[in-house]
């Protein structure tokens, strides 16, 4: 069939989800970015156990002096009591935000603070608080309400993503905003983009899973955003190096200040950006995608702006989920209508095979097939474009030996069953509904090969470039469009189609049982 752009849920044969990248312990780096201060506190008295080495830049006292103090020594009494009360009342691991006045050099200086409760201790992040008029509550609230109304008007997930990128770029001032959806193998495809004219165009491009490896994806469930105000920073260590309570490196999974792997900073440089901020899109408790914000120069959104962006990422997630549910429901309603007609035919035709394959409704219409076959009690019925009788019998034998545990669907049959390559133009996709799998009895549906073009942001085979030592590596330095034609694949099977096939199988088996008894 004609070449077409690959859909998000196409099966890509090669796995780009690098185990090497995914095994690096990002949460145990013992380093932070210098745009804030990190304190490690004991839970009872809020004594300072560890601090980031840059504390003197913020609080005008050396780290070794701070380590002798309690948080009570740094705060007005009323604020210290507020911190204690909220930590005690919270009782879990949810983050607790504060606006605090830190006493330093005899003066009170405003800081935004975030307490991150852990099992054995508390993490506390401090950043200087200097809200601008553009980040006032009323102004941010008005923008959020406006953007929410814009997203609600969008008709499709694609339109939601495009509008979100445009509105977030205008709202935040980032030079480029991408909305990025993960495919089933964790490669990401850009489905929404807004950018400055002189920046590279990534719309529609796919990026290999190694760009956002597993442990980085997992951390998005702990952090509402990932901010890098500038890639040109010097990491700041924690002192003492080892946490006095645990005798291990402090786990920085929850920390927004956590330092970034050197290879990721190199990656940002190759993208020709200096600052970045990314936020998760979470649907049904799964990481569906990311909002990725890029800036050509250093950029440090204030706490208020970051909080607004966090809220908007949740609103975007909710709107995408609503639209996804609407689309799924519409498909289910359509398939249910066809299913009802099919079941009527099953009970008004002499043999179930005729009811399934022919008539006003058929399995081909139900599952968007170009051909179908029934193997039952040594007989074979076919409809539409199918492999030869002998090829179907051999395929049924392979299914009996290898795929007999339940319904089987594949959009890459030539990969799963190499003998099918000779008829890939008819059956690159298969769905097998077992009637009596132990006897090789199946209802089979076929989809033809559709050669599909995947457009990558750079050659995915060069995503990781290892050095001679086998330990150090670098990201690819080119993001020029790289086209890869995927062959031996059909259009992918949708979850609603799998469910419809299972319902049809149950109806057929029920009819067979009733006829026998």
181 and 45 within one domain: no
Q: pLDDT, tens digit, for every residue of 138-195?
A: 889 899 999 999 999 999 999 999 999 999 999 999 999 999 999 989 999 999 999 9
Torsion sign, CA atoms 464, 465, 466, 472: negative
Give the whole-angstrom CA distance, residue 94 versus residue 198.
41
Same-domain check for residues 312 and 194: yes
> 359 in a domain, yes or no?
yes
* Pairs from 337-340 (Cβ < 8 Å, separation ≥ 24): 338/365, 338/366, 338/500, 339/366, 339/500, 339/503, 339/504, 339/507
pLDDT of residue 481: 86
Check whether residue 302 and residue 183 sit in a common domain: yes
> Which whole-number Å values give the CA distances from 479 to 58, 146, 203, 263, in the listed order?
39, 34, 12, 16
Residue 10 lies in a domain: yes
Q: What confidence tens digit (pLDDT) does each residue in 405-426 have?
A: 899 999 999 999 999 999 999 9
Residue where one domain finishes, among candidates 294, 326, 358: 326
Does residue 492 form part of some domain? Answer: yes
Least confident of 123-137, 243-257, 429-443, 466-480: 466-480
Q: Is residue 480 part of a domain?
A: no
Tell whether 114 and 145 lie within a shared domain. no
Confidence at residue 22, expressed as pLDDT on a 0 to 100 scale: 45
The tens digit of pLDDT for each residue in 383-396 reads: 999 999 999 999 99
Count of residues in the chain: 517
Q: Does 412 lie in the same domain as 385?
A: yes
pLDDT in tens, 4-44: 667 778 777 778 876 644 445 555 678 999 999 999 999 88
Question: What is 345-362 written as a DSSP string?
Answer: HHTTSSSHHHHHHSSSS-
Residues 431/367, Cβ–Cβ less than 8 Å: yes
Q: What is the mean pLDDT of the chain?
A: 90
pLDDT band of residue 1 (cuts 50, 70, 90) is very low
Position 459 scores a pLDDT of: 86
Tell whether 364 and 502 lie within a shared domain.
yes
305 and 351 in a single domain? The answer is no
Query: For residue 302, which of 233, 229, 234 has the smallest C-alpha distance?
Result: 229
Among 95, 128, 161, identify where a domain stops. Answer: 128
248 in a domain, yes or no?
no
Domain residue limits at 143 = 4-27+133-236+258-326
Are 13 and 54 within one domain? no
Q: Order of strands, edge to edge, in the sheet holding 408-410?
A: 379-384, 371-376, 441-447, 429-436, 408-410
- How many domains, in total, are found in the chain? 3
Question: Where residue 324 falls among pLDDT bands split at 50, 70, 90?
Answer: very high
Cα–Cα distance, 110 to 34 (Å, whole number)? 18
Bridge pairing between strands 275-283 and 226-228? antiparallel
Candidates 313, 363, 357; CA nearest to 338 is: 363
341 — phi, psi (to 5°)?
Answer: -65, -40
**Mean pLDDT, range 216-245, rounded to an integer:** 93
Dist. CA 101–CA 98, nearest whole Å = 10
Q: How high is the pLDDT of residue 468?
A: 65
Task: Give the count of beta carbons closer than 10 Å to the beta carbon of residue 435.
Answer: 18
Instruction: Provide the 10 A C-beta neighbour count for residue 344.
Output: 14
CA nearest to 239, candidates 67, 469, 491, 2 = 67
Q: Where are the alpha helices (DSSP H) in 154-237?
A: 157-172, 214-219
92 in the same domain as 11: no
Which CATH number belongs to the domain containing residue 43 in this structure? 3.30.450.20
**For the domain that residue 409 is a member of, what is the CATH number?**
3.30.450.270
Helix or strand run (H / E) with residue 435: strand 429-436
Is residue 393 included in any domain, yes or no?
yes
> 406 and 377 in one domain?
yes
Domain boundary among 81, 101, 128: 128
> pLDDT band at residue 463, thresholds of 50, 70 and 90?
confident
396 with 406, same domain: the answer is: yes
Residue 468 included in any domain: no
Buried b (16+ CB within 10 A) or exposed e, 437-451: beebbbbbbbbbbbe
What's the rounded Cα separation, in Å, for the pair 121 and 49?
A: 9
Mark whether 363 and 403 lie in a shared domain: yes
Whether 202 and 178 have beta carbons less than 8 Å apart is answered as yes
Chain segment 464-513, per-residue pLDDT in tens: 776 666 566 678 878 888 888 889 999 999 999 999 999 999 999 999 88
Would residue 457 count as lying in a domain? no
């Amino acid at each position: 069939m004609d070449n077409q752009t690959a859909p998000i849920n196409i099966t890509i044969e090669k796995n780009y989800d690098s185990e090497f990248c995914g095994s690096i312990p990002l949460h145990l780096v013992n380093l932070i970015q210098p745009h804030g201060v990190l304190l490690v506190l004991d839970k009872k008295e809020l004594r300072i156990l560890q601090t980031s080495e840059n504390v003197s830049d913020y609080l005008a006292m050396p780290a070794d002096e701070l380590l002798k103090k309690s948080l009570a020594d740094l705060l007005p009494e009323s604020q210290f009591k507020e911190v204690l009360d909220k930590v005690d009342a919270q009782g879990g691991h949810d983050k607790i935000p504060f606006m605090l006045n830190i006493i330093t050099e005899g003066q009170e200086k405003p800081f935004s603070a975030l307490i991150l409760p852990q099992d054995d201790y508390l993490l506390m992040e401090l950043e200087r608080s200097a809200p601008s008029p553009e980040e006032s509550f009323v102004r941010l609230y008005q923008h959020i309400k406006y953007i929410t109304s814009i997203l609600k008007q969008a008709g499709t997930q694609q339109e939601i993503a495009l509008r979100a990128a445009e509105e977030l770029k205008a709202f935040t001032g980032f030079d480029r905003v991408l909305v990025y959806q993960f495919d089933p193998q964790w490669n990401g495809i850009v489905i929404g983009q807004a950018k400055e004219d002189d920046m590279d165009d990534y719309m529609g491009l796919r990026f290999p899973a190694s760009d956002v490896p597993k442990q980085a994806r997992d951390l998005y469930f702990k952090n509402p955003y990932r901010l890098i105000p500038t890639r040109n920073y010097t990491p700041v260590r924690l002192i003492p190096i080892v946490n006095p309570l645990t005798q291990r490196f402090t786990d920085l999974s929850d920390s927004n200040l956590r330092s970034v792997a050197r290879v990721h900073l190199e990656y940002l440089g190759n993208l020709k950006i200096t600052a970045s901020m990314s936020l998760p899109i979470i649907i049904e408790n799964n990481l569906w995608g990311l909002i990725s914000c890029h800036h050509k120069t250093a950029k440090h959104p204030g706490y208020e702006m970051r909080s607004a962006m966090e809220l908007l990422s949740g609103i975007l997630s909710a709107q995408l989920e609503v639209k996804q549910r609407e689309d799924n429901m519409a498909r289910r309603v359509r398939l249910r209508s066809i299913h009802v007609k099919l079941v009527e035919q099953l009970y008004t035709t002499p043999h179930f095979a005729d009811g399934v394959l022919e008539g006003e409704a058929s399995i081909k219409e139900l599952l968007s097939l170009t051909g179908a076959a029934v193997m039952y009690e040594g007989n074979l019925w076919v409809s539409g474009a199918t492999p030869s009788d002998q090829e179907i019998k051999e395929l049924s034998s392979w299914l009996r030996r290898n795929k007999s545990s339940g319904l089987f669907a594949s959009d890459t049959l030539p990969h799963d069953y190499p003998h099918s390559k000779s008829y890939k133009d008819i059956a690159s996709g298969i769905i097998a509904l077992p009637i009596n799998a132990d006897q090789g009895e199946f209802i089979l549906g076929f989809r033809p090969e559709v050669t599909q073009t995947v457009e990558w942001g750079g050659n995915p085979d060069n995503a990781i470039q290892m050095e001679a030592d086998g330990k150090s590596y670098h990201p690819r330095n080119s993001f020029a469009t790289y086209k890869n034609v995927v062959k031996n694949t059909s259009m992918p099977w949708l979850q609603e189609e799998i469910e419809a096939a299972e319902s049809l199988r149950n109806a057929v088996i029920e009819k067979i049982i009733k006829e026998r008894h």
